[in-house]
Amino acid sequence: MTDLPEGVERRTFDGQRRLATRGEPVYGEPTDEGWRLWDAGRSKLAAMVESGLDVGLDGGETVLYLGAASGTTASHVADFVGPTYAVEFAPRPVRDLVGVAEGRRNLVPLLKDARKPASYAHVVEADVDAIVQDVATRGQARVAVENRRFLRDDGRLLAAIKARSEDVTRDPEDVFEDALDDLRESYEVLATERLEPYHDDHLGVVARPK
């Protein structure tokens, strides 16, 4: 079994061993002695970990998080890595994200469009260790390619690709193949896993810059 990232443990919730991170609760999630449930059904990155992908995080990394929404997953990530730049382009969830960041000095909310990396290049430090991407929008591979500029040469892209965001009519496997082909413009794909049963028609991808 793949090692859990540093700062992520399995704890018992309702009699089941589930992923957990240490920190203040954010969205009413169950807690256990300072640890809070990191639910793979609510988080693509947690589902990637549960699916056995080696996400390569040891704690302390600098992370660029694309598609932060209201900060559910970004809050867990910020609790076990270092500086976390969280990009989200929808103003309403960013209001919640700002609240989540108030208790986390290493979490930096950015109301920005991940398709326009130049608009946050002055804020995000160069050579981040990992890009976590969950944008669920058309052109997901393009977003990853455009943001490769922030990633150090041996860093990791940890992306969830949602088939239905690209094309609801096509076979998800075909959509994933096309997305991986597009990613290969800038990345070497190291591993992929489907994220069922946690998330239907999603592919978890671990890649490194070429």
In the complex, the residues that contact ligand SAM under the rule CB under 6 A are: 43-44, 67-69, 72-73, 87-90, 93, 113-115, 134-137
What minimum distance in Å lies between the beta carbon of 15 and ligand SAM?
25
- Closer by beta carbon to ligand SAM, 154 or else 165: 165
Q: Which residue number, 15 or 91, has a Cβ lying nearer to ligand SAM? A: 91
Q: How far apart are CA 171 and CA 191, in angstroms?
A: 20
Smallest distance, ligand SAM to C-beta of residue 91, A? 10
Those residues whose C-beta lies under 8 Å from the C-beta of residue 88, and which sit 6 or more positions away, are 67, 68, 69, 94, 97, 109, 110, 111, 112
Cβ–Cβ under 8 Å, residues 150 and 131: yes
Nearest residue to 187 (alpha-carbon basis) of 136, 141, 124:
141
CB of 88 to ligand SAM, least distance (A): 5
Nearest approach, Cβ of 7 to ligand SAM (angstroms)? 17
Separation in Å, CA 24 to CA 51, 58, 209: 26, 20, 34
Which amino acid, one-letter code, is at 203? Answer: L
**Closest Cα partner for 159 from 202, 120, 101?**
202
15 versus 80: smaller Cβ distance to ligand SAM:
80
Q: Which residues make Cβ contacts (< 8 Å) with residue 120, sequence separation at least 6?
A: 85, 87, 110, 112
Nearer to ligand SAM, 43 or 84 (CB): 43
- Kind and range of the H or E run holding 19: strand 16-22
Pick 54 or 146: Cβ nearer ligand SAM: 146
CB of 190 to ligand SAM, least distance (A): 21
Least distance from C-beta 118 to ligand SAM, angstroms?
13
Q: Which two tokens stand for residue 37?
A: 């449930």
| C-beta of 132 vs 207, nearer to ligand SAM | 132
